[in-house]
Amino acid sequence: MVTGTGEGRVPPPRRPIDRWIPILLATGVFVLHMLLSTRYGYFRDELYYIAASRHPALGYFDFPAGVAMVAWLVGHTVGYRLWALHVPPALAHAALILIAGGIAADAGAGTFGILLASLAVAVSPAYLGSGSILTMDVFDQLCWALAGWAALRALQQDRPRAWLWFGAAAAVGLFFKMTMLLFGGAVLAGLLLTEVGRRHLRTVWPWVGGCIAALGVLPYFVWEVVHGWPTLAFYAHYRAARASGGAGPAKFVLGQLLLSSWLSAPIWLAGLWYALVVSAGRRVRAVGIAYVFLLVLLAAFRAKIYFLAPMYTLLFGLGGPRLEAWSRRRAWPRVAYTAVVTLAAAAMAPLVMPLLPPASAAAYAAPLHVGAHSPTASTPLIQPLADRFGWPQQVATIARVYRGLPAAERTVACVVTGNYGEASAVNFFGPAEGLPPAISGHNQYYLWGPRGCTFQEVVSIGLPATFLTKLFTSVRPAATVHCEYCMPEENDLSVYVDRGPRQSPGTTWTLLRSVS
């Protein structure tokens, strides 16, 4: 067996504590997520995935079916309770910690190297944040890590059949998020550019693994064909939006240091150095090249900074043994650095997960200017925290306006929203308020259609009055929704009562799609 400790060297025997370190850290992180699982409210996308789970399909306008299936499983076992929705992402974060420890052990790490790798994943702001909400991202991170671990084992240990496990993990990943295609392409580029990789490509196993991975995208492919490839329009719009307002290349690159916290960055940088430069790391050089490939590609396309987060579990796992070797068994630098990494994580954690009450979290974050901003307003909280506020108040306000309509008008009135978050909030909280299902022209809601709405009487939110006056002869402001900690674009929204449609229902519905 060849490992990251050097050509032909066998890793030192693992002591019981080496196995328990990742397990204890994973358990602690899972418990922390669960203790905080109901501190804030439902996240915008969680409400969206709940709505999708009530419309089972092979895919959706802006995401594959995986996350909706997870929501369906939660809903059909214990119900859509907030704590229950947060069990799967918390488990995924815990699994990432175990994987990092396993990668470090495979690379020849002793106790300190395994501790560093596992701790870095446990306290990384990127993973703490994604592990506290139900989204595609945490499952994407998990599947990249599983596939990457299989690739590392195939290369380190010269076990080409491990590419079958790579394919299986990639197939599951493609069921959650299409970014797995980028990872697979980057790994293929790394294999083509390295001698060890090319030797593996001359066997059948990487190609069989690729065929297995393709099975994961098949359901979404079928759905796209049946529905006329709507996701292509979504990605075209996304690319245009990122090109005009996304993070520039320099900001994207610097942002990678924040994903892991600046003080944990030396661990993954050591792993990258090992994979790209150190002669003993030539067997895993393909993974280092894959990281560089993705970094350049995503920076050039102004992708969101967290798109590269899944790679860091692999690099932490490779970097832990490097820092262990460089510390030369000196106790004080090891203890000091472990303490620094932990304290830095404790300082950053309130910025990415609901550790503090909302008022305290806002006061803590305000001086750092890390919150969400719009052209007209801002909040000190980052978007994954801010988007957990305001939805019940929004629905309650809509319900008051709806109940204020004459009885005859309520029987034909529709609730129309500007985006999927508002519609999903109405459809989750609205039944208790007596509201009819909401419709929207945004993303998947457009494909679900107007649900028989004639647009004779509409209660709307999230749509500008200037647009509504093009659709209706009467647009009356009826209420305003205020929420202190929510996203700026959801604060101080006007609720309108709209009457007298100017166009046919079909034309009105098409126009609603154009503004969303």
pLDDT value at residue 18:
84
pLDDT value at residue 368:
85
pLDDT value at residue 7:
44
What is the rounded CA–CA span in Å between residue 257 and residue 141?
17
pLDDT value at residue 240:
63
As separate numbers, helices (DSSP H) first and strands (DSSP E) second, the chain gives 26, 7
Strands 472-481 and 493-501 turn out to be antiparallel
pLDDT value at residue 248:
80
Count CA atoms within 13 Å of residue 13 on its CB side: 2
pLDDT value at residue 327:
85
List Cα–Cα distances, 387 to 45, 50, 383, 421, 429, in angstroms. 9, 15, 6, 9, 16
315 neighbors 38 (Cβ within 8 angstroms) = no
What is the rounded CA–CA span in Å between residue 365 and residue 379?
9
What is the rounded CA–CA span in Å between residue 127 and residue 309?
8
Beta bridge partners of 498: 458, 475
Residues written for the chain: 516
pLDDT value at residue 420:
97
337 neighbors 261 (Cβ within 8 angstroms) = no
Dihedral, 454, 458, 461, 463 alpha carbons, nearest 10:
60
What is the rounded CA–CA span in Å between residue 78 and residue 245?
41
Count CA atoms within 13 Å of residue 379 on its CB side: 27
Which parts of the chain sit beneath pLDDT 50? 1-9
Residue type, 320: G
The pTM assigned to this predicted structure is 0.93
Beta bridge partners of 457: 499
pLDDT value at residue 12:
58
Residues 334-390 have pLDDT tens digits of: 999 999 999 998 999 999 999 999 999 999 999 888 888 777 778 899 999 999 999
Tokens of 187: 């790994």
If you write DSSP's letter for every residue of 220-265 in order, what string do you get?
A: HHHHHHHHT-HHHHHHHHHHHHHHHHS--HHHHHHHHHHHS-TTTH
Residue written as tokens 């069989």? 208
Q: Residue 388: which H helix or E strand, with range?
A: none
C-alpha torsion sign, points 188, 190, 196, 199: positive
pLDDT value at residue 331:
87
- What is the arrangement of strands in the sheet containing 472-481, beginning at the earlier edge strand? 438-440, 414-417, 457-461, 493-501, 472-481
What is the rounded CA–CA span in Å between residue 380 and residue 361?
8
Residues 135-156 have pLDDT tens digits of: 999 999 999 999 999 999 999 9
**Angle separating helix axes 136-156 and 285-300, nearest 10 degrees:** 150
pLDDT value at residue 245:
58
What is the rounded CA–CA span in Å between residue 236 and residue 162?
36
pLDDT value at residue 374:
74
Q: Which residues contact 438 (CB under 8 A, 6 or more apart)?
A: 415, 416, 417, 422, 423, 424, 426, 427, 430
Beta bridge partners of 516: none
The full 3-state SS of 202-227, as one line of letters, equals CCCHHHHHHHHHHHHHHHHHHHHHHH
What is the rounded CA–CA span in Å between residue 216 and residue 180?
10
Burial class (CB in 10 A: 0-12, 13-18, 19+), 77: exposed
What is the rounded CA–CA span in Å between residue 105 and residue 112?
10
Helix (H, G, I), strand (E, B) or coil at 338: helix
pLDDT value at residue 372:
83
Q: Residue 501: which H helix or E strand, with range?
A: strand 493-501
